[in-house]
Amino acid sequence: MKHRRFRVHKESIQGREAVIEDRREIRHISRVLRLGIGDRVTLFDGEGKEYPACIKHLSSDQVSFTLIEEPTLTTKESSLRIILGVALLKSSRFEWLLQKTTELGVSEIVPFYSRHVVPRWEGRKTRTRELRWEKIVSEAARQCGRAKIPKIHEPRPFEEILALDFDEATKIFLWEREERKNLKDALAAFSSVVFVLVGPEGGFSEDEASQAQGAGFHPVRLGPRILRAETAGIVVVSLLQFLLGDLR
């Protein structure tokens, strides 16, 4: 039988018990998977811990679990911390990028607006999108065996992204006009933290590229072909994990 994993929020764990109150997840557990009292599962808290458990009680508005062993730290996290700064794309493409980079082990995702970004949301619509993004990365983490869910930052302007500081990270940005420096060149000095920027469908403007370099980001090329923004995001995370992370 396939082993079942479910996300449980840390605040929903009390002593040797935990609960899930998300009605969509409850329906999935009871009606789709047809799990019942006594069935064993693994819970994960989104911060790196897994909890072997069994179902104690099941109703239409809550599933409660008994934790049957001490929590363990997952071994599925990469030693490389990748912060992916990515320009906002059309919804389906951006959501696909979130899902796949979560599977590849990205640590944080920082969406941003830049000159050539098309989608722009305000207020309530932005918050609705953010909640959907959180569900997408949570589900991707559950599926791929991660117990730590990537942090998704609030979308912000490109200029604010450049000012973010991530523990002396190696800073790079993908730019199709860079003719010489590739990813391996930019990573010559080993770092356990990499902050990489991927531009929108129209790419970075000359002015934005200049701003990025002024903020300490190194321009790199991924090859002779121009990739879609979502493809470039997948490729760069994969290559980083291969060169410095856990895909070697």
pTM for the whole thing? Answer: 0.88
Task: Give the max Cα distance, the chain.
Answer: 61
d(CA 99, CA 152): 12
Q: What DSSP letter does each residue of 165-226 carry, written as one string?
A: --TT-EEEEE-TT--S-BHHHHTSS--SEEEEEE--TT---HHHHHHHHHTTPEEEB--SSP
Domain boundaries, the chain: 5-73, 81-243
Does the domain made of 81-243 have the CATH classification 3.60.21.10?
A: no
| Residue 9: Cβ within 10 Å count | 14
Under 8 Å between Cβ of 37 and 56:
yes
pLDDT in tens, 4-36: 999 999 999 999 999 999 998 999 999 999 999
Q: Does domain 5-73 correspond to CATH entry 2.40.240.20?
A: yes
Give residue 116's pLDDT band: very low, low, confident or very high (50, 70, 90): confident
Q: Does residue 120 carry a pLDDT above 90?
A: no
